């Protein structure tokens, strides 16, 4: 993701329906994990998800390969360091949780990232990963934000398990709005990352929040979430 996209994300993520609901998902997953420990947020951009980790009591470090993103995260009062996700500057078995939202799809050698996640996790530690799904959804948006692939459940599971992690759960998100996203992106000429009118934003937020209560996680969506752990 280039600098202009990171700046745009930082300006929008507190109010944009997409990012607000993803942070709500992260909060629910953290509540299930129990006692906080040390966390690493890979590809953190300006640190929106890192803030959620800190608010939940985790000792969290943001990493990104863009120095501008790192500086923006630090300006938000977060601990942050520049790092390539394929070669993390952290000791083996040193963290209890790794989050990697919208990271793997940007890196051709995605297996190196999952191997690094497994390396730095302490025994019993967890990884929370989010990626765009379904190559049939490929659009100018993917080109604009620097994606090299979209995943299906099998391809995501394989790259995680080959790194030595045990997958606990894989589920779809943004299922209800998938037809709308498909239609929009086929007409779009680039990145979706832009301000949404207030009423439209509120309506989209309400629809996607409904997925918390509906049995749609096994259906096709726009994003895949995965939770995995390192065996003891």
Per-residue pLDDT tens for 92-103? 999 999 999 999
pLDDT on residue 14: 86
Q: In three state form, how does the secondary structure of the chain look?
A: CCHHHHHHHHHHCCCCHHHHHHHHHHHHHHHHHCCCCEEEEECCCCCHHHHHHHHCCCEEEEEECCHHHHHHHHHCCCEEEECECCECCCCCCCEEEEEEECCHHHCCCHHHHHHHHHHHEEEEEEEEEEEEECHHHCCHHHHHCCCCCCECHHHHHHHHHCCCCEEEEEEEECCCCHHHHHHHHHHCCCCCCCCCCHHHHHHHHHHHHHHHCCCCCCCCCCEEEEEEECCC
Separation of alpha carbons 42 and 183, rounded Å: 31
Q: How far apart are the first and last CA of the chain?
A: 35
Place of tokens 């040193």: 94
Is residue 141 within 8 A of residue 189, CB to CB? The reply is: no
- Model confidence at 113, pLDDT cuts 50, 70, 90, reads very high
Mean pLDDT confidence for 166-186: 92
Q: Where are the domains of the chain?
A: 3-229
pLDDT on residue 1: 62
Judge if pTM exceeds 0.75.
yes
Please provide the average confidence, as pLDDT, over all residues in the chain: 93
| Burial (CB count <10 Å: 0-12, 13-18, 19+), residue 58 | buried
- The 10s digit of each residue's pLDDT in 128-144 is 999 999 999 998 888 88
CATH of domain 3-229: 3.40.50.150
Higher pLDDT, 5 or 16: 16
Ranking 22-26, 53-57, 194-198 by mean pLDDT, the lowest is 194-198
């Amino acid at each position: 993701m280039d600098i202009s996209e990171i700046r745009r994300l930082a300006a929008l993520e507190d109010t944009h329906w997409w990012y607000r609901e993803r942070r709500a998902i992260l909060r629910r997953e953290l509540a299930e994990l129990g006692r906080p420990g040390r966390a690493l947020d890979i590809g953190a951009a300006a640190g929106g998800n890192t803030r959620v980790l800190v608010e939940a009591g985790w000792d969290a470090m943001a990493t990104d390969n863009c120095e501008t993103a790192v500086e923006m995260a630090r300006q938000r009062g977060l601990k942050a360091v520049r790092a390539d996700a394929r070669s993390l500057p952290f000791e083996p078995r040193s963290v209890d949780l790794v989050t990697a939202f919208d990271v793997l799809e940007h890196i051709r050698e995605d297996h190196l990232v999952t191997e690094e996640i497994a390396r730095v996790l302490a025994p019993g530690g967890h990884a929370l990963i989010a990626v765009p799904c379904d190559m049939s959804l490929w659009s100018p948006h993917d080109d604009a934000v620097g994606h090299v692939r979209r995943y299906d459940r099998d391809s995501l599971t394989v790259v995680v398990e080959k790194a030595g992690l045990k997958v606990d759960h894989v589920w779809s998100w943004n299922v209800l709005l998938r037809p709308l996203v498909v239609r929009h992106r086929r007409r779009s000429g680039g990145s979706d990352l832009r301000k949404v009118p207030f009423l439209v934003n509120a309506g989209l937020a309400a629809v996607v929040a409904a997925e918390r209560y509906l049995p749609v996680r096994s259906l096709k969506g726009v994003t895949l979430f995965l939770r995995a752990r390192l065996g003891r």
